[in-house]
Each structure stands twice: as C-alpha cells, then as structure tokens.
C-alpha cells in the first residue's frame, strides 16, 4: 500500500489537465461564435446605414461599434461598402439599386492553452435594396459623426 500513495494525485493531474483544456476550448468556441455574430451584425448595420445615408457619408465608425470597441482589431479597413445595380455591376447616382457591405480579413485569436492560433474569419456580406440614400423631400441627411 505504501508504494501507491501518490497514484491518486497523478491520476487527478492527468484528468484535470484534459478537463481544463476541454473547458477552456468550449469557452473559447463560445467567444468565437460571439465574434462571428458581432461581425455579421456589423455588416448588417453598415448596409442598413448605407441605404439611408448619403453616399459620401463616413459610416464606418458607427457601423463597426468603434464607440464601444467591442472587438479587438476591427477597423474601417475591414469594411467595404459597394453601391450596385441589380445585375451586380458598380453603380453611382440614380443608377444605384443595391447596397452591399462586406466585413473581410478579420483575424480571431483562438486562446486555448497549448492551442494558440490565429483564425481568419469568413467574409460577412449583407446586401440590401437602396432606400433614400440620404436624400428626402426636405433636404439631405449626412450620417457622419
């Protein structure tokens, strides 16, 4: 019996190590899903703002939640807004039929002990039909901050 005194501590160490890696992986997976949800919402928000704001408006800081800094490394360089005709070609002026907002090239840091990785997120795209584009009967709307 004296030879097996420390066997329970060794067993606990092995099982606890695997358990905590799996626990942190589950938490990190939830954080990654939250990040993807925020990126999807930012593309939706940018497209919505672009449909009701003037084409010359700078809506990046509003759409990307920069006022609250909800995601690290998310900047206006990750957002592209395109004004399109119905056939998907670039349009301007009164020929604009659709507005597309894309969030691209965002890198998510996966932080599980022993599995540190940088994951490239997919491109999040939202396309909406144009609305007023910031012009209405009483004047214009500029959505820039």
pTM to 2 decimal places = 0.82
The pLDDT, as a whole number, for residue 66 is 67
- Supply the DSSP string of the chain, one letter for each residue: -GGGTTHHHHHHHHHHHHHHHHHHHHHHHHHHHHHHHHHHHHHHHHHHHHHHS-TT---HHHHTTTTTT-STT--GGGEEEEEE-TTS-B--GGG--EEEEEE---EEEE--TT--EEEEPPPEEEEEE---TTEETTEE-----
The pLDDT, as a whole number, for residue 142 is 65
pLDDT per residue of the chain (145 residues) written in tens, 0 to 9 = 566 777 888 899 999 999 998 999 899 999 999 999 999 998 998 999 888 888 877 777 777 776 677 888 888 889 999 999 999 899 988 889 999 999 999 999 888 877 788 989 999 999 999 888 877 777 776 676 5
How do the domains of the chain map onto residue ranges? 2-140
């Amino acid at each position: 019996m004296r030879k097996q005194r420390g066997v329970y501590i060794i067993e606990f160490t092995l099982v606890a190590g695997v358990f905590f890696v799996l626990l942190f992986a589950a938490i990190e997976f939830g954080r990654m899903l939250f990040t993807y949800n925020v990126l999807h919402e930012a593309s939706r928000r940018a497209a919505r703002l672009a449909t009701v704001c003037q084409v010359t408006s700078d809506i990046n800081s509003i759409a990307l939640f920069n006022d609250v800094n909800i995601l690290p490394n998310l900047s206006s360089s990750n957002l592209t807004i395109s004004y399109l005709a119905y056939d998907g070609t670039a349009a301007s002026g009164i020929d604009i039929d659709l507005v597309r907002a894309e969030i691209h090239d965002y890198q998510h840091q996966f932080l599980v002990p022993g599995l540190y990785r940088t994951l490239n997120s997919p491109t999040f795209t939202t396309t909406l039909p144009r609305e007023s584009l910031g012009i209405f009967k009483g004047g214009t709307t500029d959505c820039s901050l």
